[in-house]
Chains A and B, each alone.
Chain A
Amino acid sequence: MDSFFTSRLFFISLAVVIIASTLPLYVSGYVLGLLTVAYYFGVFAMAWDLLFGFAGEVNFGPTLLIGVGAYTAGILNNQYGWSVYLCIVLGALASVVAGVVLALPALRVRGPYFGLTTLVAVLMLQNFIVVFADLTGGEIGLTIPDVITINASANYWIALGFMTISALILYGLSQSPIGLVLQASGQDPVQAGALGFNIVKHKLAAFIVSAFFSGLSGALLVFYFGTASVGTVVDVAVGVNVIVAAVLGGRRTVLGAALGAIFLIVAGEFLRPTGELATFIVSAVALLVVLFFPGGFLGAALSHEGRK
Chain B
Amino acid sequence: MDTTTNNPPVLRVRGLTKRFGGLTAVKNLGLEVHAGEIFGLIGPNGSGKSTAMKSIMGIERPSGGEVIFQGENVAGLPAHKIARKGFGMVFQHSRPLNRQTVLENIMVALLPDSLFMLFPDKALTERAKWIANRVGLGSVMDRRPPTLPFADLRRLELAKAIARDPKVVLVDEPFAGLTLAEVGTFSELIRSFRDKGRAVLLVDHNVKSVAALVDRVLAMYLGEEIVTGRADEVMRNETVRRVYLGGAIETSARPETSFKDKLPLLQVENVSVHYG
Contact = CB atoms under 8 A, between A and B. Distances in A.
Interface stretch (B106-114, B183-191, B206-214): B106-114
A184 B108 contact: yes
B83 A198 contact: no
Contacts of B163: 195
B118 A178 contact: yes
Contacts of B42: none
Contact of A177 (B89, B94, B118, B164): B118
B118 A172 contact: yes
Contacts of B97: 180, 183-184, 187
Nearest to B163: A195
Given A193-B78, A195-B108, A195-B160, A188 B119 contact: no
B91 A180 contact: no
Chain A: number of interface residues, binned into ranges: 20 to 34
Contact of B108 (A180, A198, A252): A180
> Lowest 5 CB-CB distances: which A-B pairs, in order?
A196-B83, A193-B79, A188-B95, A177-B117, A194-B89
Contacts of A188: 94-95
Contacts of B78: 193, 198
Given A184-B97, A199-B80, 11 more contacts: A1-B118, A173-B118, A181-B108, A181-B113, A190-B59, A191-B91, A193-B59, A194-B80, A194-B87, A198-B113, A202-B115
Of B79, B91, B120, B160, most buried by chain A (CB within 10 Å of CB) is: B79
A194 B59 contact: yes
Interface of B: 57-59, 78-80, 83-84, 87-89, 91, 94-97, 99-100, 104, 107-109, 111, 113, 115, 117-120, 160, 163-164, 276
B100 A180 contact: yes
Contacts of A8: none
A199 B100 CA distance: 19
Contacts of A180: 97, 100, 104, 107-108, 111
Interface string A161-181: 000000000001100111011
Nearest to A206: B115
A177 B80 contact: no
Interface string A101-120: 00000000000000000000
A272 interface: no
A198 B111 contact: no
Contact of B115 (A190, A196, A201, A307): A201
A201 B109 CA distance: 17
Nearest to B160: A195
Contacts of A184: 97, 108
Nearest to A188: B95
Interface of B is mostly: loop
Contacts of B99: 183, 252
Interface in A186-242: 187-188, 190-191, 193-199, 201-202, 205
A178 B100 CA distance: 14
Contacts of B120: 176-177
Interface in A246-297: 252
Contacts of B80: 193-199
26 contacts: A177-B107, A177-B118, A178-B115, A178-B117, A181-B111, A183-B97, A184-B97, A187-B97, A190-B91, A191-B91, A191-B95, A193-B58, A193-B78, A193-B83, A194-B79, A194-B88, A194-B89, A195-B83, A195-B163, A196-B113, A197-B113, A198-B113, A201-B115, A205-B115, A252-B99, A307-B276
B119 A177 contact: yes
A202 B117 CA distance: 12
Nearest to B275: A307
A177 B95 CA distance: 18
A103 to B, nearest CB: 15
A216 B94 CA distance: 39
A174 to B, nearest CB: 11
A198 B108 CA distance: 13
Nearest to B107: A180
A307 B143 CA distance: 11
A53 to B, nearest CB: 10
A177 B84 CA distance: 18
A198 B89 CA distance: 16
